[in-house]
Amino acid sequence: MKKKKLQVVLFLLYISTSVLAQDFPAVQQLAQRRVPWLAKSLILKSMPTENGKDVFEISTPGKAVLIRASSPSAVAAGLNWYLKYYCYRSMSHMGDNLSPVSPLPAVKQPVHIKTGYEYRYALNYCTISYTMGFYNWKDWERELDWMALNGVNLMLAPVGTEAVWQHTLERLGYKPEETRRFIAGPGFTAWWLMGNLEGWGGPVTQQMIDQQRALEKQILTRMSGLGITPVLQGFYGMIPTSLKEKMPLKVLEQGKWAGGFQRPDFLIPGDSSFTKIANIYYEELKRLYGSNIRFFAGDPFHEGGISKGVNVTTAAVTIQQTMQNNFPGSTWVLMGWGNNPSRELLAGLDKSKVLVQELFGENTANWDSRKSYEGTPFIWCSINNFGEKLGLYGKLQRFADEISRAAHSPYASLFKGIGIMPEGIHNNPVVYDLMMELAWHTDKVEVKDWIKSYVRYRYGTDNPHMQEAWQGLIATVYSSFSQHQEGVGESVFCARPTLKDVSVSTWGTRKRNYDTKAFAAAVATFMKAAPKMKKNSTYKIDAIDFQRQMNANRGEEIFAEMVAAFGKKDLNAFKQTSGRFLLLMQQQDQLLSSNSHFRLDTWINAAKNLGQTPAEKALLVRNAKTQITYWGPDNPATDLHEYANKEWGGLMQSYYIPRWKMFITALSNQLQGNEVKAPDFFSWEKKWTEQ
């Protein structure tokens, strides 16, 4: 008995001294920022990997919470596991449930969790603009804390590439103002980096370039402490269309991208200038952000790029060799999107230094049909959201099923990880929670069982109405229906007015691939918990989002009645149905205006506050307003209009409702026999962005 007491005393002494020697200081600081009530009792210690993969272990000796782990990323994931499954607390892009818990829950038996994957990846190029285009350091600090808690250890981080290109082009004879004309505005950075356009949303100022450079340095420093490896922008042949006017180059013009944007040129690898320019680019990147970068992104011929006349295999080999010469041992990260990367592009590469992202896993299985991209290491990802549109959507069980299938496939040895690649991440928190947690499960997850824990930690309670409601939600909006669908079911409220049954955005859909009545019943059940959840912020946010979806679904029904009334030339019925349609839009605006997560001013103020001068503020606000409306370019026939439409309070009132009123007034006049000129929506939209 005395011996046992002595062991306890010695262990507690070990714990007390360990507090002074934390192994993961950046994660301890994360805990102090987000859960200070837990941080003072938290002890973080290192342990070895298992079979080369990350692992964490949670126990509660005495009154302490001890998390041992194999990396900063793993220990942060362990912290999140304790928060979710013992404290019923969580952090999300749409509200936090992180209020203090006392006393701290005990872990009766040590919890030992390991991952079977090398990589837990996050972010799409598009996320950098649709969600993060106007982030300041406080926003990025929060973002990185969320990433760390969710176990992310590999993340796209191309912020500050503007400075790399500026220094590169100035060494090639560009004047500063010429360089700034090539760089896109922050609302459109993603598509500039992907070689889809140049200059749109600009010209940026020197202060904006310097600001992004400083921000990237902060991001990379914090990522290093949290164990998140950055993926930076590589040189893959993209150059300004104006460069060929300054020096003799062998280029392949890339034509036009969606909407009519002029793409940057592709500098053909093998041209004597390719190695020179690539080396300058990498020298400047190294000088700005360090020499320890090990992952680079950049996809030649992305989304319809022209490769005719180029030996794609030889070109890709040169791109990879140049990357390796500047950063030996680095990995080229390629997007598995459509037919990219092509077989020809992969054919000559050192595939041990390539990582393909199965981008659109909720609808595709190219990893299977192409035999792991012809024997290339890959990660399974989901996009789930296009354009940061609002809408409830996510094929949750498919995520779990496909990841399990890949892990037990003939390509298991090449299946390196799991990732989230949303075009916008400020939506559907359940999707991102599940996806990132799947990396820590060895057995296939049944979502109907997993969701019970999600409800507890999302709201901090185990209310039976909410549990029942979420079973209804995973059977409807979060069901794994078989139909192909690119993102959320869009809202007719956001459509450029028409009587045609067409999608709001060119590649979107207004179809609901679920039973809307069953969904409504689930929402009604969820709302039964409202009296007990008056002070619960995550419940309020979800209640607004669910009601928003209900209103959008109802809008489809009233719109169909309005179209039918016009088709019958029934003026009274048309006035009555169109009046109901506009009233529902007004109600939607009032609902969404009640919370900052659903308001236009949240987005606009972020853009405005990023600027330092009146001119910068005006430019950034125009970036913000253009992106969510007609997108660009200044072409009435652009097929990108409404691509990033938003059901937001304030936007509904100032943009969507007035636009629908213009249309409804014109149709009413037409039914009365008056001569009517069709509204010039594009001119009106463009003027709105300039106000």
Distance CA 167, CA 179 (A): 9
H or E stretch covering 357: strand 354-358
Query: Is the bond leading into 103 cis (omega within 30 degrees of zero)?
Result: yes
pTM for this prediction: 0.95
* Same topology between domain 116-156+350-444 and domain 547-690: no
Q: How far apart are CA 289 and CA 160, in angstroms?
A: 9
> In the prediction, which pLDDT does 373 show?
98
pLDDT at 18: 44
Does 116-156+350-444 carry CATH code 3.20.20.80? yes
Question: Which whole-number Å values give the CA distances from 435 to 397, 469, 564, in the listed order?
Answer: 10, 21, 42
Q: What is the pLDDT of residue 338?
A: 87
Q: Which of 423, 344, 424, 346 is nearest to 378 (CA)?
A: 346
All residue ranges of the chain with pLDDT < 70 are: 1-21
**Both tokens assigned to 582:** 């506009």
Question: What angle do helix axes 206-226 and 161-171 make, rounded to 10 degrees?
Answer: 130
Q: How far apart are CA 193 and CA 238, in angstroms?
A: 9
Pick the CATH number of 2-114 from 1.10.10.10, 3.30.379.10, 3.40.250.10, 3.40.50.300: 3.30.379.10
pLDDT in tens, 314-327: 999 999 999 999 99
Instruction: Give dist(CA 619, CA 186) in Å, integer.
Output: 10
Distances (CA, A) of 304 to 114, 196, 373: 41, 9, 19
Q: Does domain 158-228+237-292+302-311 have CATH number 3.20.20.80?
A: yes
What is the C-alpha separation between 420 and 359, in angstroms, rounded?
8
Reduced to 3 states (helix: H, G, I; strand: E, B; else coil), residue 46 is strand
For 17-72, write each residue's pLDDT tens digit: 444 468 999 999 999 999 999 999 999 999 999 999 999 999 999 999 999 999 99
CA angle centred on 678, ends 673 and 681, rounded to 5°: 150
Cα–Cα distance for residue pair 467/661, rounded to 1 Å: 41
Check whether domain 547-690 has CATH 3.40.50.740, yes or no: no
Task: For the chain, give every domain's residue range.
Answer: 2-114, 116-156+350-444, 158-228+237-292+302-311, 547-690
